Structure 1
């Protein structure tokens, strides 16, 4: 890459001067748009963020670890999927990714430099159980996460651990079609038990499943992610049923989650003193107009995207809108399962929020086809533009529009619907398609990311001031990484990664985040002991 060649020629002192000049100009612009949220924090009480607030960064195993076949790791569904021609836009895969498996010490050092007090990462299920329950536990996999967790704790960084972030052992797909079978509930519980037992003395925040709504929609409705199941009318799939498979898979994901929560609550939580939750992709849906039809469409959009999972987990039942529209295509919970759901619930909701859409009615009105417009999606078309005007500023990533007020609205919606259950903003970040003609200055001087983060944090602060129980915020991402269908072309990192050399280079946004944390969390928690 041009960046690699150019950066090698820069003397360290010159590079430092360039960075500092960039910092000064960007800081002035960014802070002028954040209502003095971080510049005027003269006391701890003036910050909307409590003293025990978690400020962190986030990654996931498949996107950063690499070492896809090292030290006894088994194949995951994403290992297999990315090696099929045409599945990833730029033809890359996660075989190496950021090689955090070997470079985790350096990455922990990057976090320490920023001043974060938490790191959200996921464990590779296939690294722990290469064959699921059908094989042995991989000790080398356990040892790796032991080393990572201990390295974090030595620096006073709280591990915030996700059990599965889209990647699962391919063995489970081959044996019984993974999430389409109730058998996976026992597999997931078995895996969770190993992790709780091994790491729970040091891990105090557990996430069962990351974005099950996204996994189901992309894997079983439109088929662009593994296991590539969909109806012909929804995508280019060789098998699948988009009207039934997503709801079967979702049902098993929900019951797998609650099985892990029940296990943690009954066997580990009292002794280990941790918390457990689930992370959802949370898009804010604005009514396309002030009509009753579009307002109802916005609520249906939330029910078919977010409440689809949270209502059963927290309230013990699927949303009424889904029952009315889907009828028998929506699975039912047994009386035993309903009691299990109501009894266990969650300790917190993880919120991954990036963008907002308009929702346009397709139930009472004629509507063009598109995302959200079908029966299985709630007859609520997702659109970004109204009368030629975008809902938010466009980015180079096709789905990402900048709409900071959406975060405050999303958090407020969850607060009101679920009785102000504690929340963590487990992902929020700005992505861009890297221009191959970018200079070193362009790559490092990511002012647009700084502006995005500052405006969204300002929106979050408003929600907190109004009483929302939000306890943490994690930037996606610590590093540029393998961005699923987009491969390596889309960059979200506070640090640039040269995929040729794997060198990490700090961006302006990392310096901005460091300053923001220092201003809003002046007393860093003491270093945690390693038990």
Structure 2
């Protein structure tokens, strides 16, 4: 027996990419920190492949939008590159070539009836601002980001009416300051990380308010990666470990973006530990006015935690409040070593309903990266990625269940529309509905792309009765 999972009217069936992971370098006035990392440490990147060409979206976007329409996308989230749009980072002077590209991209999306959501920052801080001002540790960089955002809003206000400020800001903090897996590779810098977190939240608030003043009818939000913490047991200590993980890693951004202030409990912990951020007297009132119109949730995997066992930390780190736990029953994506746990999407939806009941949200990313997908190519040259189809079916099943129970989710965006460059992973693991051949930049729709078209056209899909419970 089967059932058809029908999604709400006007549901967004889309995908996401970013400028620095798809466009290529050509024509940019400045390097971002990922460009710099590749230029100085190419061996850090899988097979030495970097963002210099990437998926060459800069030259292929018109055909790429036609392919997106062919696979049923009615929406697409990508990012403007600060380093492409702005010629002078201090004055905000525009680059005419950057303007021309983004305007042409907007026209191509419109011609294919694809709604665009523009994001302003996707891990691509201009390197000059890191070298000169210490990046997001600096209040001046907040001001420059606000200037850039206002310029972009004014430039595209007649065409783009859905914006997001940051994509996964916690990754910049984790990767750049706590664990060193992204440039500038700082490690164990907990106090600096907290200051960066604060300045990003402040920048988000100021940009959100600026947009509301410019376009009261438009919508703006933030994209937060949520890796919900599941405690090892019902023990109080394990429960508290999970609570702190959520407070620090994602509730910090969502509470500030929706309620206009940080979680009180988190502020008290950081104050007690002597690592609370430096702020100006006017900031509290600035933050209190912050109200995101919607939220994007990126979900890939959960986090399993337990109480720490008395480990001594020389410098403050969030890790002193939790330890990771290897759940023996987990199912793992062998290509990323990430746990596959689709039910977490249901749990996230219930948490959103509980904590932020008046704020609509959408799944802004989820996906499955697979290595050496050519193994699954059929005689017609098409990759039969049934694993990706099943991955999405499972997640959509739990999302649909949450929507049926009242979750205010308005869309589902996968990562990614096309295979794109994924930082130092490069193209090792592919995520797209559309294959990109890096030798000649040809595109081929995968089996999952054809499946997604049917899902979009029918606004749902058929499954066996409750197969994933």
**1:67-146 to 2 correspondences below 5 Å:** 68=25, 70-85=26-41, 86-134=43-91, 136-146=93-103
TM-score normalised per structure 2: 0.92
Q: Which residue of 2 aligns with 1:325?
A: 269
Alignment partners' CA distance in 1, 2:119 and 2:180: 24
From 320, 343, 348, the counterpart of 2:294? 348
Q: Secondary structure at the match of 1:90?
A: helix
Contact 2:382 2:445 in 1 (8 A): no
**Deviates most, 492-501 or 411-420:** 411-420
Q: Which residue of 1 aligns with 2:467?
A: none
Deviation digits for residues 23-80 of structure 1, max 9, x if unmatched? Answer: xxxxxxxxx8xx6344xxxxxxxx2x221211111100111111x1x23532211111
Q: Secondary structure at the match of 2:44?
A: coil
Q: Which residue of 1 aligns with 2:218?
A: 274
Q: Secondary structure at the match of 1:329?
A: coil
Alignment partners' CA distance in 2, 1:517 and 1:429: 17
Contact 1:354 1:429 in 2 (8 A): yes
From 268, 285, 300, the counterpart of 1:339? 285
Q: Which residue of 2 aligns with 1:376?
A: 318
Contact 2:46 2:427 in 1 (8 A): no
1:251 aligns with 2:251: no
How many angstroms does 1:344 deviate by?
2.5
Structure 1 unaligned segments of length 5 or more: list them.
Answer: 1-31, 39-46, 232-241, 523-531
Task: Please report the RMSD computed on the Cα atoms of aligned residues, expressed in angstroms.
Answer: 2.2
- Give the 3 Å change call, closer, same or farther, for CA 90–319 of structure 1 in structure 2: farther
- Give the 3 Å change call, closer, same or farther, for CA 117–262 of structure 1 in structure 2: same
Alignment partners' CA distance in 2, 1:129 and 1:394: 42
Q: Secondary structure at the match of 2:215?
A: helix
Contact 1:412 1:463 in 2 (8 A): yes
Deviation digits for residues 121-167 of structure 1, max 9, x if unmatched? Answer: 00111001144124631011011010111111122110111011111
Structure 2 unaligned segments of length 5 or more: list them.
Answer: 462-469
How many angstroms does 1:521 deviate by?
6.7
Q: Secondary structure at the match of 1:344?
A: coil
1:64 aligns with 2:22: yes
Q: Which residue of 2 aligns with 1:153?
A: 110
Contact 2:417 2:434 in 1 (8 A): yes
Contact 1:395 1:401 in 2 (8 A): yes
From 182, 186, 210, the counterpart of 1:229? 186
Aligned residues: 455
Alignment partners' CA distance in 2, 1:368 and 1:282: 28
Q: Which residue of 1 aligns with 2:167?
A: 210
Q: Secondary structure at the match of 1:359?
A: strand
Contact 1:480 1:494 in 2 (8 A): yes
- Give the 3 Å change call, closer, same or farther, for CA 135–201 of structure 1 in structure 2: closer
Q: Which residue of 2 aligns with 1:23?
A: none
How many angstroms does 1:102 deviate by?
0.2
Q: Which residue of 2 aligns with 1:29?
A: none
How many angstroms does 1:100 deviate by?
0.4
**1:6-45 to 2 correspondences below 5 Å:** 36-38=3-5
Q: Which residue of 1 aligns with 2:375?
A: 438
Deviation digits for residues 339-385 of structure 1, max 9, x if unmatched? Answer: 222212211111001111212111xx45799xxx97424522233x3
Contact 1:131 1:171 in 2 (8 A): no
Contact 2:54 2:420 in 1 (8 A): yes
From 442, 451, 460, the counterpart of 2:390? 451
- Give the 3 Å change call, closer, same or farther, for CA 521–158 of structure 1 in structure 2: farther
How many angstroms does 1:275 deviate by?
0.1
How many angstroms does 1:443 deviate by?
7.0
From 146, 153, 158, the counterpart of 1:196? 153
Contact 1:414 1:420 in 2 (8 A): no
Q: Which residue of 1 aligns with 2:361?
A: 423
How many angstroms does 1:398 deviate by?
2.9
From 445, 449, 453, the counterpart of 1:510? 449
Alignment partners' CA distance in 1, 2:190 and 2:377: 48
Deviation digits for residues 399-447 of structure 1, max 9, x if unmatched? Answer: 4221110001012112211234110111011112226x72523971111
Q: Which residue of 2 aligns with 1:182?
A: 139
TM-score normalised per structure 1: 0.81
